[in-house]
Chains A and B, each alone.
Chain A
């Protein structure tokens, strides 16, 4: 509804596709998923895969620390000025869905300060299976689960698993050690998600990393088309 209002050159309101100066803003992709499923490591892998072709920035949402931002800084996947940490207090899902203002400020400030940007990755704090991003904050979302969290997670569904634009099943190299059945996870995911894509990823072996990067690339191509 805000698209109907004129804001007379003042700062944008939530998902407006244009920035105050009239230029098209960066594509925003959210990454959500349970604690420890590998969201930050996936963000790091994406930065390494895409940083030479796209102007990138990252917003991390830690619940009460800056751990995730500091991991990305240590890994040196991006210059520090391209990484912003939002501290979300006690409720990480609130900051990506119900009250998105702190994250909107972070993405807008990144575009102002290090722009022009092509892509901003917004990583949620670790949460539960119901966490989804507001469309007022991101244009597409990736949900990251891992095989060690239990191979029944795709069957259990929930908004993250069933509605995310891309489902990443991470840590496939651990499947034999934790007794997870990848074929069953794939079949359950297919049943929950119909035509929505799923990538099985192992950051350790590199499997699937190019597929996730390729999906992001396609989203960016569609955004700028």
Chain B
């Protein structure tokens, strides 16, 4: 926003579309694979490898730690406890999300949809706060992205099923260099409204 890349609903939609097909796609596949029972420690390493920005890795682990607390209180599970023990300061959020979905009795499709939706809902609500964008316009952006979001989730589940057969290298590795670079720039700001 400060760089003038997002100025209203149309540019927010472009930003969200880009994020959905890069970070969102990777997160959805990680979540789906975790929901299918793939080793979360391996998935966490794969998430690290797909997150070049140290600031984004830290943010993903913080969010994972927070989600872990909520998930363990809501759907107590031995698998969640084991992951919490393995990563006391937090595993990558999409991995925790997939395992939480598993603990809640949900499938890979549900986990992929949640992860894909999160990849666009965060920027949309941030825009409402930072740009005073009409919240209905922001919601309309998300609604218009729904068919694309469904496709990304379906592809993520396909990739996750391949991971079960052939290993974590089958995970997508789409990246958006500008997201990574701006995350690093943002982390150095002295005054920030958001953690990432």
Question: Do these two chains really belong together in a complex?
Answer: yes
The answer to whether B84 touches A87, judged by C-beta atoms less than 8 angstroms apart, is no
Kindly state the separation between the CA atoms of A104 and B88 in the bound complex, as whole angstroms.
13
The answer to whether A65 touches B190, judged by C-beta atoms less than 8 angstroms apart, is yes
Kindly state the separation between the CA atoms of A90 and B130 in the bound complex, as whole angstroms.
10
Chain A 49-104 interface residues, beta-carbon cutoff 8 Å to B: 63-65, 87, 89-90, 99, 101-102, 104
Query: In this assembly, does B2 line the interface, its C-beta being within 8 Å of a C-beta of chain A?
Result: no
Q: Which of B69, B76, B82, B192 contacts A5 (CB 8 A)?
A: B76
A22 to nearest B CB, angstroms? 16
Number of residue pairs spanning A and B whose beta carbons lie under 8 angstroms apart: 52
The answer to whether A10 touches B84, judged by C-beta atoms less than 8 angstroms apart, is yes
Describe A's contact surface by its main secondary structure. loop
Query: In this assembly, does A14 line the interface, its C-beta being within 8 Å of a C-beta of chain B?
Result: yes
Kindly state the separation between the CA atoms of A14 and B69 in the bound complex, as whole angstroms.
8
Chain B 66-94 interface residues, beta-carbon cutoff 8 Å to A: 66, 69-70, 72-73, 76, 78, 81-82, 84-85, 88
B68 to nearest A CB, angstroms? 8
Given A64-B192, A65-B190, CB of A105 within 8 Å of CB of B85: no
Given A7-B81, A105-B66, CB of A14 within 8 Å of CB of B194: no
Given A7-B81, A11-B88, A90-B129, CB of A2 within 8 Å of CB of B73: yes
The answer to whether B65 touches A105, judged by C-beta atoms less than 8 angstroms apart, is yes
List the B residue with the shortest CB-CB distance to A112: B88
The answer to whether A10 touches B69, judged by C-beta atoms less than 8 angstroms apart, is no
Query: In this assembly, does B49 line the interface, its C-beta being within 8 Å of a C-beta of chain A?
Result: no
Q: Which of A10, A14, A65, A89 contacts B81 (CB 8 A)?
A: A10
Q: Which of B72, B191, B192 contacts A7 (CB 8 A)?
A: B72
Chain B residues with a Cβ closer than 8 Å to the other chain, count: 21
Q: Which of A8, A11, A105 contacts B78 (CB 8 A)?
A: A8
Specify which chain A residues have a CB less than 8 angstroms from the CB of B81 in the assembled complex: 7-8, 10
Kindly state the separation between the CA atoms of A105 and B87 in the bound complex, as whole angstroms.
13
The answer to whether B193 touches A102, judged by C-beta atoms less than 8 angstroms apart, is no
Q: Which of A2, A13, A64 contacts B193 (CB 8 A)?
A: A64
B8 to nearest A CB, angstroms? 20
The answer to whether A87 touches B192, judged by C-beta atoms less than 8 angstroms apart, is yes
Specify which chain B residues have a CB less than 8 angstroms from the CB of A63 in the assembled complex: 193
Query: In this assembly, does A206 line the interface, its C-beta being within 8 Å of a C-beta of chain B?
Result: no
Query: In this assembly, does B131 line the interface, its C-beta being within 8 Å of a C-beta of chain A?
Result: no
Kindly state the separation between the CA atoms of A1 and B73 in the bound complex, as whole angstroms.
8
The answer to whether B193 touches A101, judged by C-beta atoms less than 8 angstroms apart, is no
Scoring A residues 161 to 178 as 1 if CB is less than 8 Å from chain B, else 0, what string do you get? 000000000000000000
Query: In this assembly, does B195 line the interface, its C-beta being within 8 Å of a C-beta of chain A?
Result: yes
Kindly state the separation between the CA atoms of A101 and B64 in the bound complex, as whole angstroms.
11
Specify which chain A residues have a CB less than 8 angstroms from the CB of B192 in the assembled complex: 64, 87
Q: Which of A5, A11, A102 contacts B84 (CB 8 A)?
A: A11
Kindly state the separation between the CA atoms of A167 and B84 in the bound complex, as whole angstroms.
38
B145 to nearest A CB, angstroms? 24
Specify which chain A residues have a CB less than 8 angstroms from the CB of B84 in the assembled complex: 7, 10-11
B131 to nearest A CB, angstroms? 13
Kindly state the separation between the CA atoms of A120 and B37 in the bound complex, as whole angstroms.
39
The answer to whether A90 touches B69, judged by C-beta atoms less than 8 angstroms apart, is no
Q: Which of A14, A65, A105 contacts B73 (CB 8 A)?
A: A14
Chain B 105-124 interface residues, beta-carbon cutoff 8 Å to A: none
B51 to nearest A CB, angstroms? 20
The answer to whether A13 touches B69, judged by C-beta atoms less than 8 angstroms apart, is yes
List the B residue with the shortest CB-CB distance to A62: B191
B96 to nearest A CB, angstroms? 12
Known: A64-B191, A64-B193. 5 other contacts (CB 8 A): A5-B72, A10-B81, A10-B85, A101-B65, A105-B66
Pick 19 A–B contacts, CB within 8 A, sort by A.
A5-B73, A5-B76, A7-B81, A10-B81, A11-B84, A11-B88, A13-B69, A14-B69, A64-B191, A64-B192, A65-B190, A65-B191, A87-B195, A90-B129, A90-B193, A101-B66, A101-B70, A104-B69, A105-B66
